[in-house]
Amino acid sequence: MLENCLDPDIAKLPNEFIVYGGTGRAVRDYESLHRIKDALRSLEDNETLLIQSGKPVGIFLTNRMAPRVLMSGTMLVPKWCTWETYFELAKKNLTTFGQSTAASWSYIGTQGIMQGTWETFKQVSMEHFAGTLSGKLILTSGLGEMGSAQPIAVTANGGVCLVVDVDKQVVKKRLHTSMIDIMAESLDEALDYIQDFVQRKEPLSIGLVGNAADIYEQILTRSIKPDVVTDQTPAHDVYNSYIPTGVKPEEAASLRESNPEHYEQLIRITLARHLKTMISFMKKGSVVFDYGNNIRGAAKKAGVIDAFCFPNFITKYLRPLFCEGRGPFRWIALSGDPEDIYKTDDVILKLFPYDQKLREWVEFVQQRFTFHGLPARVCWLNFEERPLFGQVINEMVRSGKLSAPIAITRDHMDAGSVASPYRETEKMLDGSDAIADWPVLNALLNASCGATLVGIYQGGGVGIGYSIHSGMSIIADGSETAQEKLNLVLKWDPGLGIVRYADAGYPVARKNLRQKGFKIPGNEGTSYD
């Protein structure tokens, strides 16, 4: 799984160990990579490797039920939890930024975020447009490892997507890998396509080369009102990755070094323009939301007082799913054989025939996606479905129906695994947005249940100082021990999310606690009320 994250077909800059998200690294440096790999090759079934921010620090005698790998990444004492402190420590090679699934070696390329993006735009279509984006224009920006999922998710829901990216080479790459349908180098060219396909109510995705702040303003000036506006530029890491107006991507690094104060000023100006234009679209009637990159927080620092006047995508569209423990369940064929994934596709559709969205999703990715790196799949399953499917996978490995073990993991954007007040836990019913006990408890619980890898991290997705989150992976190797671990981990990992949302007062989560037999202290073991 570590090597899969660094596969050139998956990683952003594999030679620098950067997997995605601007600077998200799987390991700290070259020496750490080789020491980790050597340790994993020789690790016994009763030993645990500890990794501190991408560097191996010790192998400890534990027991067979304990995790084989425990990680902590970018965890800074709160008073010192700033980008400035992080940069200072990173320059001394004392820490590294792991983003989320890069640090926990569970990144699987664009498909990893794709279903969450697909689910989001499906919810957008249901809430605002009678269940389809047909004939609708969705404006967004950023074609990085995460943002490139948006054009496919929009077209899969019938819409026309205009996605802006400042880097021509990135747009070309997404065109060559079929993440976008058409590349445009001028707004006029893009608008010709948009007018045609919106009128015909046919899906299309267009990658436009340009700076998002500039293009958004030009569209606004022309009195064009997109139906939906969002953004997924790397605003969580503005200094290293967000490119200000007037600067070419290839010039950015040298300008940061030669004139950092001027560069920061350009960033602030660009962010403010970018966010203010999104607000203007909202005032004109567009559906506008933050897509989890903390652009509102960055813009507020740049002086936009009302930056938080529109919601983020989880608060608006995905939180009800978390209340039932539903989230991004992933599995990876360690054999490298795509047939192992196709066999599990068939099984999951037979296991859960009542889930029409699941069927739509599986049929969509089978037709639309080619595998990059190890063959992998992601489906949003709830806390009852995950252990059931995990046990079936383990039995398939044991019986030889699958040719090798399967790694089961998830995104960090899950029900009980993250505290992020500008994303997953924004505007909680009880005001507990910034309470970070839950992801810590999630990591401790997963370690107690026997997950193969468990980690706790800081900053992923929204930047240093803005989140605490945990990762988990477990190997289905066909053994009875794996069966026991899978049943515990895959149930209680998302089950804690139901407890978290019930504790915050969400009726759906509380109903799930009562109906599913959770034991809550002081309530006779079954009722949360």
Catalytic residues: 379
Could you tell me the two tokens for 214? 């500039």
Report in angstroms the alpha-carbon separations of 60 from 48, 55, 68, 105, 481.
5, 15, 10, 21, 20
Task: Provide the token pair at 319.
Answer: 């939180």
* Nearest residue to 121 via CA among 230, 257, 2, 35: 230
DSSP codes, 250-285: HHHHHHHHH-HHHHHHHHHHHHHHHHHHHHHHHHTT
Dihedral angle over CA of 4, 7, 9, 15, nearest 10: 150
- Cα 325 to the center of its chain, rounded Å: 17
User: What tokens were used for 456?
Assistant: 């706790």
CA dist., res. 416 & res. 315, Å (int): 15
Q: Which two tokens stand for residue 261?
A: 């104060």
Alpha-carbon torsion 358, 5, 87, 50, what sign? positive
Nearest residue to 76 (alpha-carbon basis) of 92, 91, 59, 97:
97
User: Do 96 and 28 meet the contact criterion of CB atoms below 8 Å apart?
Assistant: yes
Tokens 């799987």 — which residue?
26
- Burial annotation 511-520 (CB, 10 A radius, 16+ → b, else e): bbbeebebeb
Give the pair of three-digit tokens for residue 32: 């750490």
Cα 226 from Cα 215, distance rounded (Å):
13
Phi, psi of 377 (to 5 degrees): -145, 155
Backbone angles phi, psi at 71, to 5 degrees: -130, 150
Q: Across the chain, which distance is largest between two alpha carbons, in Å?
A: 66
3-state secondary structure of 312: strand
CA distance 101 to 1: 11
Q: What share of the chain is helix, strand, coil (3-state, %, to 5)?
A: 45, 15, 40
For 481-506, give one letter per residue: b (16+ CB within 10 A) or e: ebbebbbbbbbbbbbbbbbbbbbbeb
Determine the Cα angle at 381 with ends 380 and 387, to 5°.
140
DSSP string, 65-107: TS-SEEEEES---GGG-SHHHHHHHHHTTS----TTTTTTT--
